[in-house]
Amino acid sequence: MSEKNQEIIIPNADEVAKELVKFSESINFNEEMFLNIIQESIAPAEEFFTDYACAIMEVETKFKVLNEMFSLKYDGNPIESITSRVKGYDSIIRKVIKKNIPRNLASIQENIHDIAGVRVICSFVDDIYRLAKCLLQQDDITLISQKDYIKNPKPSGYRSLHLIISVPIYLENEKKDVKVEVQLRTIAMDFWASLEHKLKYKKNLPEEKKDMLSQELIDCANASAELDRRMQNVRNIILKGE
Residues found near ligand 0O2 in the complex (CB under 6 A): 114, 117, 147, 154, 156, 158, 162, 193, 196-197
Q: Which is nearer to ligand 0O2, 162 or 179 (CB)?
A: 162
**Bridge partners of 82?**
120
Minimum distance of ligand 0O2 from residue 117's CB (angstroms): 6
Q: What is d(CA 62, CA 72) in angstroms, rounded to the nearest whole number?
A: 16
Minimum distance of ligand 0O2 from residue 94's CB (angstroms): 9
Minimum distance of ligand 0O2 from residue 59's CB (angstroms): 15
Q: Return the closest-CA partner of residue 189 out of 157, 159, 212.
A: 159
Q: Which residue is nearest to ligand 0O2 (CB)?
A: 158
Cβ neighbour number for residue 99 with a 10 Å cutoff: 11
**Bridge partners of 81?**
121
Phi, psi (deg, nearest 5) at residue 5: 60, 5
Q: Return the closest-CA partner of residue 150 out of 142, 135, 162, 138.
A: 162
Tell me the catalytic residues. 181
Q: What is d(CA 71, CA 126) in angstroms, rounded to the nearest whole number?
A: 15
Strand order in the sheet with 116-122: 79-86, 116-122, 175-186, 161-170, 142-148
Q: Which is nearer to ligand 0O2, 62 or 113 (CB)?
A: 113
DSSP label at 113? -
Q: Which is nearer to ligand 0O2, 105 or 144 (CB)?
A: 144
Q: Which is nearer to ligand 0O2, 2 or 50 (CB)?
A: 2
Q: Which is nearer to ligand 0O2, 127 or 196 (CB)?
A: 196
